[in-house]
A and B are shown apart, each in its own frame.
Chain A
């Protein structure tokens, strides 16, 4: 039964009646866990990019994304200028940084991005108690953490691939015959995708794991910045002072270099940022295995921490 809560004045222009139809039970489709997973993924992406939040929540993620893209643009402009001044292919001959160098140069910014954004996807849920509401929804702990992980990985991939796209468009656009550039350098496309994904997964796993241990976003961010940024000069300095196996292994703990070594293996050339690392002496297989260890183990620990969130 409906209740009239307001009625237009007789003779008014529309003469309509507004009804409060009261509470209506939901009889539509219920999509279960799959919808729940997608909802958490979507919310994770929105949270990471600051959508639906205040202006301040957008500053850091968008600053990092714009800065990374700007870096790609600078690479492209420098290469275009070199080609314009010294002729086609001059930038490549002069060793001006390109796709293979981008991830190495941008790695610090990528890790800062992970450090400031990843905790936003996990820490506030614990701090505000929202996690208790997810526990009683028709999803499992694995659904929750995998969806959050996938959301942040997606944002990381956007942040890493976007500058590579900018760079590729810039380099091909600056070539007198863009199609020639494309045919000569098409392999840079899959390599950039793969190397970018390797860096994104690595940063995502470590950042999400650190975030899972605290309810305070700031603590996780400070820890991660310390881990990624401050530890690097320390381990690089020591590894170059110590000779032999100890120096090499110390070099392995330069966390920012671990995905850069993989990037170099994918592109088949050593980028400038890691060319003096003693760890290079260990060979590609060890470096790749080391990368997987630092990626898979944190991922498994992260999963195990949330697996039993709700059975």
Chain B
């Protein structure tokens, strides 16, 4: 069930009012640490939904998040969060949640006490903070365990507490830095479900940083790909997956003749070990395949639509970007 999704922040106090505006906005952002360029003229805007920020280690994901949180000042360019300059607004942090990648939990206190404290630090009155902490722990699946000391929790439970503290003050936007790091397959699946739930049921927009393509692909509505500090791709995940639709063909014989017949019809063919793939999955392509099979007298063994992993697309685009830079 999808609850009312908030596209902006309702609160007008302190000038935070962004209904209809992007939640996060980065323009020509560059960050240099000495001679190392962590981000190089990156621009993107994030509105409502779950946005994945994808890149290898050192791609600039964490730097971008730190700039958006106001923890690091950019060398040039601007970063705005909920309509406020990220570098100068303490107030805006009351409407943003952050789940760091690394350990950030006390060991000696219970999850209930910790989340209550974090809600109060975010500005909620004590009575409301207690209620919110209990509710949030129920939503992340830790209600029964909420009075146990966090030090005794499993890795998966700790990740849930980390997510809980990011949500406890009901932020308009939450940034999750590698939320599935260190989790086993079941825990990872649970965390991805929670992330989807965070937006689709709680109405909180999400920026989800990961180096795992599969996690991003399964969870996000939009994707931003960073490579070596540069923006390589950004857009709807669905759009990318459409671009990667292919058809896999395997024949018993006359493989070369079939390839020639397909290429004659203008179909892009990629050779694979046991067969070949052709780009696109619209009706025309199937018509071309049918005609080429007849022309080449090639007995068809297998034909199946296939979606290439997003990785391949980004590897290709990344290479293009790097080639362009070298040129």
- Enumerate chain A interface residues (CB-CB to B < 8 A): 1, 3, 22-33, 35-36, 38-40, 42-43, 52-54, 57, 124-125, 128-130, 132-140, 310-311
A31 touches B123 (CB 8 A): yes
Tell me, in angstroms, the Cα distance from A28 to B165 when the chains sit together: 18
Contacts of B91 in A (CB 8 A): 32-33, 138
Tell me, in angstroms, the Cα distance from A22 to B73 when the chains sit together: 38
B233 within 8 A of A: no
Known: A53-B109, A311-B88. A138 touches B104 (CB 8 A): no
- Enumerate chain B interface residues (CB-CB to A < 8 A): 1, 3, 6, 10-11, 13-14, 69-71, 73, 87-88, 90-94, 96, 98, 100, 102-110, 113, 117-118, 120-125, 128, 132, 135, 139, 149, 165, 169-170, 201-203
B90 touches A23 (CB 8 A): no
A30 touches B124 (CB 8 A): yes
Contacts of B93 in A (CB 8 A): 136-138, 310
B122 touches A25 (CB 8 A): no
Contacts of B98 in A (CB 8 A): 133, 136
Known: A23-B139, A26-B169, A28-B128. A139 touches B121 (CB 8 A): yes
Tell me, in angstroms, the Cα distance from A53 to B149 when the chains sit together: 8
Q: Distance in Å from the Cβ of A13 to the closest Cβ of chain B?
A: 26
B123 touches A138 (CB 8 A): yes
A33 touches B90 (CB 8 A): yes
A130 touches B105 (CB 8 A): yes
Tell me, in angstroms, the Cα distance from A135 to B70 when the chains sit together: 9
B202 touches A40 (CB 8 A): no
B3 touches A23 (CB 8 A): yes
- In this complex, the member of A1, A31, A40, A310 whose beta carbon has the largest number of chain B beta carbons within 10 angstroms is A31
B71 touches A136 (CB 8 A): yes
Contacts of B13 in A (CB 8 A): 30
Tell me, in angstroms, the Cα distance from A3 to B201 when the chains sit together: 13
A36 touches B120 (CB 8 A): yes
Contact of A133 among B3, B107, B123, B165 (CB under 8 A): B165
A35 touches B109 (CB 8 A): no
A133 touches B125 (CB 8 A): no
Tell me, in angstroms, the Cα distance from A131 to B274 when the chains sit together: 55
Contacts of A38 in B (CB 8 A): 120
Q: Distance in Å from the Cβ of A183 to the closest Cβ of chain B?
A: 43
Q: Distance in Å from the Cβ of A124 to the closest Cβ of chain B?
A: 6
Q: Distance in Å from the Cβ of A179 to the closest Cβ of chain B?
A: 42
Majority DSSP secondary structure for residues of B touching A: loop
A133 touches B104 (CB 8 A): yes
Tell me, in angstroms, the Cα distance from A38 to B139 when the chains sit together: 27
A35 touches B125 (CB 8 A): yes
Tell me, in angstroms, the Cα distance from A29 to B125 when the chains sit together: 7
A311 touches B87 (CB 8 A): yes
Known: A28-B124, A35-B125, A311-B88. 11 other contacts (CB 8 A): A3-B1, A26-B170, A27-B10, A32-B14, A39-B120, A128-B104, A129-B103, A129-B105, A132-B102, A133-B118, A136-B93
Contacts of A31 in B (CB 8 A): 123-125
Tell me, in angstroms, the Cα distance from A128 to B108 when the chains sit together: 10
With CB as the reference atom, state the residue of chain B lying closest to A54.
B108
Tell me, in angstroms, the Cα distance from A215 to B96 when the chains sit together: 27
- In this complex, the member of B110, B124, B139, B202 whose beta carbon has the largest number of chain A beta carbons within 10 angstroms is B124
Contacts of A140 in B (CB 8 A): 90
Contact of B106 among A3, A54, A128, A136 (CB under 8 A): A128
Contacts of B149 in A (CB 8 A): 54
Known: A52-B109, A128-B103, A311-B87. A137 touches B69 (CB 8 A): no
A35 touches B123 (CB 8 A): yes
Contacts of B203 in A (CB 8 A): 23, 25
- In this complex, the member of B91, B107, B109 whose beta carbon has the largest number of chain A beta carbons within 10 angstroms is B109
B1 touches A136 (CB 8 A): no
Tell me, in angstroms, the Cα distance from A129 to B94 when the chains sit together: 19
Contacts of A24 in B (CB 8 A): 135
8 residue pairs bridging A and B, Cβ less than 8 Å apart: A1-B1, A23-B203, A38-B120, A53-B109, A136-B71, A137-B93, A139-B90, A139-B121
With CB as the reference atom, state the residue of chain B lying closest to A23.
B202
Known: A22-B3, A22-B201. A130 touches B94 (CB 8 A): no
Contact of A137 among B103, B106, B107, B118 (CB under 8 A): B118
- In this complex, the member of A23, A29, A128, A311 whose beta carbon has the largest number of chain B beta carbons within 10 angstroms is A23
- In this complex, the member of B71, B90, B91 whose beta carbon has the largest number of chain A beta carbons within 10 angstroms is B90
A40 touches B106 (CB 8 A): no
B123 touches A26 (CB 8 A): no
Tell me, in angstroms, the Cα distance from A32 to B104 when the chains sit together: 22
Contact of A129 among B92, B102, B128 (CB under 8 A): B102
Q: Distance in Å from the Cβ of B200 to the closest Cβ of chain A?
A: 10
